[in-house]
């Protein structure tokens, strides 16, 4: 027999000033199922909760409805409250008469009171159909996967490893290091990027708890928090990493040439290569697209093989194939970083055709001592030192029409950094910066920017560049100085564009593989913009670094640490509590048609063969089965299921129908 206790909260005057709480309590006193009904000033307060607990004991209540604020606010509070006196926490319902009633119907006291009554009746009708539910438990694989081996991934892995947990770093390029390894100096300290990054890379590679899986791709993710099963494609390196000593002979002998993407195609590399000298692992891979041997094989021949001939350890293996391995992890950190916006869509910047209009990352390679020009700032076209450099900010950023609507956050600072570096390397070179705004919120950032202008004499022009065109050897940059309100034209030798940060081109596919959300631009979505910045909506998957949105190095490192803490908190548990509000299939009803299987976003439903006694015979038949650890309780299957075999606990068909009926019964 249902014995529901109803408690109407005034929330001080928040509810009480509009809704006649005593009347609502009175209105439902005789409602079917209600055994006790009352109102009180603050239900969530200590005395309020005690009042509920006492009433449960005194009136032998087996279900409770509290009408107060949003369940998103206090459902947990009241569940804990009723649980303390022995009630199952799922025998509780909340009616939202504050956010959905008193606050939005100010002055309409009579109607609001009537509405509150309806909402309470709905809650009572539902709670009468509620069932006791128990949280489930799932084991935890005490090992984490970090996807992406940039600074965020490395830092996150180190933090997890230093907490004593095994962690794998999955990196799709031949080496860890990421974008930071391409950068020459870091702002605002102008310290050498490699000098602070490479020790971290070495530490990661030598850490007993860290395992590097480079030149590999994420293929497939199954499972759930604490128990992910991740399939990884280990791409064929064509080099046996166990035999290779990293001596580099092969690279000196290789006749194949290819664009050097690490150096932004500013020079060529060999077909067998490591991306950069400090690469980790420092073992080459064969770029099969550009390898003479593999190219000849496409034409039915088999030439070259020089690297193999010269390799002292016989590590070259042309017959290697991609390998798929499946590993188990308890948590996954996505640290897949960003890409640089491609400015070739902009006609006003020359569609990317002018060799001396380069991006920020090009410049980093130009100015790097181990880069293609040994650190000399020269024009890519004729290798002359530029005398006038124009820098353009917000290329692709803050441009909802052609580029991205967001601010890329890092460009103001890296432009300032690069401007000072030009002035340092080439004191005679004039530097102009076209900008929309200068945004420097960071420790010592604004001071750096001011030094750039005041001490380094970099000229900032507020305005957009309307056109860049080639005029002889020079680039004419036309724009408007909006502060002076006049057109300006600068004859420049080189133009550096501050390209926006954009997500990896396949970030949406990645998100779908892992089962996390992404925004309109393709950045991965955090679970809460303020209170869950490194969590995702998928339990056990966390975010670090720029894959969540544009970030500079300190922010990425900080977020990596935050994600690591969340991972460790998860891995420190022996068992995980799982929500019981999941789908369940009544096998007596299920026909095993399997229509629910493809509908489940968590692959939680499988078809299983069960045995059944029927008319004296044992028969075998298919039925759907929900893995309650995988199921997150969306309910998609329940509507797909025609016969109602699939039902969502705590949001059952009967419970929702009871609410609908309760609302409608007053209509006559």
The answer to whether 648 contacts other proteins (rule: CB under 8 A) is yes
The answer to whether 130 contacts other proteins (rule: CB under 8 A) is no
Nearest to 239 by CA among 305, 187, 193, 286: 286
In sequence order, the β-bridge partners of residue 328 are 229
Interface with other proteins (CB under 8 A), residue from 207, 537, 573, 584: 537
The answer to whether 115 contacts other proteins (rule: CB under 8 A) is yes
Shortest Å distance, C-beta 70 to other proteins: 5
Record the tokens describing residue 483, joined without a space. 């502060």
Q: Which is nearer to other proteins, 290 or 632 (CB)?
A: 632
Q: Which is nearer to other proteins, 241 or 622 (CB)?
A: 622
Interface with other proteins (CB under 8 A), residue from 106, 325, 444, 610: 106
Task: Return the range that interacts with other proteins (CB under 8 A); candidates 101-109, 180-188, 340-348, 386-394.
Answer: 101-109
Q: Which is nearer to other proteins, 484 or 619 (CB)?
A: 619
CB-count exposure of residue 511 (10 Å: 0-12, 13-18, 19+)? buried
Task: Return the range that interacts with other proteins (CB under 8 A); candidates 246-254, 477-485, 489-497, 511-519.
Answer: 511-519
Length of the chain: 668
Give, as one character, the DSSP assignment of residue 635: -
Task: Count other Cβ atoms within 10 Å, centred on residue 51.
Answer: 18
Task: Return the range that interacts with other proteins (CB under 8 A); candidates 213-221, 248-256, 546-554, 612-620.
Answer: 612-620
Going residue by residue from 255 to 294, which x/- string records binding to other proteins, judged by CB under 8 A? Answer: ----------------------------------------
- In angstroms, the Cα distances linking 383 to 376, 386, 498, 615 are 9, 9, 21, 90
**Range 625-644, binding other proteins (CB under 8 A):** 632-636, 638-640, 642-644
The answer to whether 77 contacts other proteins (rule: CB under 8 A) is no
The answer to whether 251 contacts other proteins (rule: CB under 8 A) is no
Calpha distance 277→269 (Å, rounded): 12
The answer to whether 617 contacts other proteins (rule: CB under 8 A) is yes
The answer to whether 592 contacts other proteins (rule: CB under 8 A) is yes
Q: Provide the CA 129 distance to its chain's centre, in angstroms.
A: 38
Query: Which residues touch 157 (CB under 8 Å, ≥6 apart)?
Result: 144, 146, 167, 169, 204, 207, 210, 564
The label of the residue with tokens 């020089």 reads 306
* Dihedral sign computed on CA atoms, order 343, 345, 351, 352: positive
Q: Hey, which bits of 514-640 come out as E strands?
A: 541-543, 575-578, 583-585, 605-614, 617-626
Shortest Å distance, C-beta 596 to other proteins: 7
The answer to whether 310 contacts other proteins (rule: CB under 8 A) is no
Task: Return the range that interacts with other proteins (CB under 8 A); candidates 201-209, 370-378, 492-500, 616-624.
Answer: 616-624
The answer to whether 3 contacts other proteins (rule: CB under 8 A) is no
Q: Which is nearer to other proteins, 480 or 508 (CB)?
A: 508
The answer to whether 533 contacts other proteins (rule: CB under 8 A) is no
Q: Which is nearer to other proteins, 242 or 613 (CB)?
A: 613
Cα end-to-end span (Å), the chain = 28
Interface with other proteins (CB under 8 A), residue from 30, 134, 206, 299: 30
Shortest Å distance, C-beta 584 to other proteins: 14
Phi, psi of 157 (to 5 degrees): -65, -40
The answer to whether residues 65 and 95 touch, using CB atoms and an 8 Å cutoff, is: yes
- In angstroms, the Cα distances linking 232 to 100, 603, 646 are 48, 19, 33
The answer to whether 375 contacts other proteins (rule: CB under 8 A) is no
Q: Which is nearer to other proteins, 488 or 595 (CB)?
A: 595
Calpha distance 525→402 (Å, rounded): 23
The answer to whether 507 contacts other proteins (rule: CB under 8 A) is no
The answer to whether residues 311 and 318 touch, using CB atoms and an 8 Å cutoff, is: no
Q: Which is nearer to other proteins, 242 or 617 (CB)?
A: 617
The answer to whether 99 contacts other proteins (rule: CB under 8 A) is yes
Find out whether the peptide bond into 188 is cis, omega within 30 degrees of 0. Answer: yes
């Amino acid at each position: 027999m249902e014995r529901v206790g109803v408690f109407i909260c005034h929330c001080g005057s928040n509810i009480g000033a509009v809704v006649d709480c005593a009347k609502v309590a009175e209105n439902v006193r005789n409602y079917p199922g209600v055994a006790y009904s009352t109102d009180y000033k603050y239900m969530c307060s200590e005395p309020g909760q005690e009042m509920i607990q006492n009433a449960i004991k005194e009136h032998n209540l087996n279900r409770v409805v509290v009408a107060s604020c949003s369940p998103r606010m206090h459902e947990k509070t009241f569940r804990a409250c009723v649980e303390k006196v022995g009630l199952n926490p799922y025998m509780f319902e909340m009616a939202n008469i504050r956010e959905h009633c008193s606050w939005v119907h100010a002055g309409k006291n009579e109607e609001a009171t009537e509405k509150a009554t309806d909402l309470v009746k709905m809650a009572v009708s539902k709670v009468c159909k509620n069932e006791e539910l128990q949280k489930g438990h799932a084991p935890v694989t005490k090992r984490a996967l970090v996807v992406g081996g940039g600074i965020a991934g490395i830092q996150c892995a180190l933090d997890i490893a230093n907490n004593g947990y095994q962690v794998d770093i999955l990196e799709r390029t031949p080496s860890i290091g990421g974008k930071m390894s391409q950068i020459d100096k870091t702002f605002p300290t102008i310290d050498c990027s490699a000098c602070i990054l490479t020790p971290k890379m070495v530490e990661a590679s030598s850490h007993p708890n860290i395992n590097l899986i480079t030149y590999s791709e994420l293929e497939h993710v199954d499972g759930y928090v604490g128990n992910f099963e991740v399939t990884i494609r280990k791409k064929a390196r064509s080099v046996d990493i166990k035999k290779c000593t990293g001596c580099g002979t092969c690279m000196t002998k290789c006749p194949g040439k290819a664009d050097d993407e690490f150096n932004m195609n500013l020079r060529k590399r060999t077909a067998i290569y490591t991306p950069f000298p400090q690469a980790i692992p420092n073992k080459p891979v064969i770029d099969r697209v550009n390898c003479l041997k593999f190219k000849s094989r496409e034409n039915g021949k088999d030439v070259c093989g020089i690297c193999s001939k010269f390799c002292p350890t016989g590590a070259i293996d042309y017959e290697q194939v991609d390998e798929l391995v499946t590993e188990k992890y308890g948590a996954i950190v996505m640290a897949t970083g960003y890409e640089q916006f491609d400015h070739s869509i902009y006609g006003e910047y020359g569609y990317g055709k002018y060799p001396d209009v380069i991006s920020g990352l090009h410049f980093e390679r130009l100015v790097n001592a181990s880069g293609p020009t040994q650190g000399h700032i020269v024009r890519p076209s004729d290798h002359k030192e530029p005398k006038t450099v124009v820098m353009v900010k917000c290329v692709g950023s803050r441009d909802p029409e052609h580029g991205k609507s967001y601010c890329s956050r890092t460009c103001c600072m890296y432009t300032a950094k690069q401007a000072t570096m030009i002035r340092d390397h080439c004191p005679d070179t004039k530097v102009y910066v076209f900008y929309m705004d200068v945004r420097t919120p960071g420790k010592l950032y604004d001071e750096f920017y001011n030094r750039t202008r005041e001490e380094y004499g970099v000229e900032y022009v507020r305005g957009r560049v309307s056109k860049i065109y080639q005029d002889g050897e020079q680039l004419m940059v036309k724009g408007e100085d909006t502060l002076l309100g006049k057109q300006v034209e600068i004859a420049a030798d080189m133009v550096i564009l501050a390209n926006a940060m954009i997500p990896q081109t396949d970030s949406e596919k990645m998100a779908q593989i892992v089962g996390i959300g992404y925004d309109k631009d393709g950045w991965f979505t955090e679970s809460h913009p303020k209170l869950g910045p490194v969590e995702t909506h998928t339990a056990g998957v966390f975010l670090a670094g720029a894959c969540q949105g544009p970030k500079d190095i300190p922010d990425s490192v900080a977020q990596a640490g935050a994600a690591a803490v969340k991972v460790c908190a998860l891995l420190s548990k022996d068992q995980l509590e799982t929500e019981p509000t999941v789908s369940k299939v009544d096998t007596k009803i299920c026909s095993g048609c399997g229509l629910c299987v493809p509908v489940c976003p968590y692959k939680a439903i499988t078809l299983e063969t069960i045995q059944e006694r029927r008319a004296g015979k044992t028969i075998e038949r298919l039925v759907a089965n929900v893995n309650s650890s995988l199921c997150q309780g969306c309910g998609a299957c329940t509507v797909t299921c025609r016969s109602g075999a699939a039902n969502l606990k705590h949001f059952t068909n009967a419970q929702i129908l009871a609410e609908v009926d309760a609302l409608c019964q007053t209509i006559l």
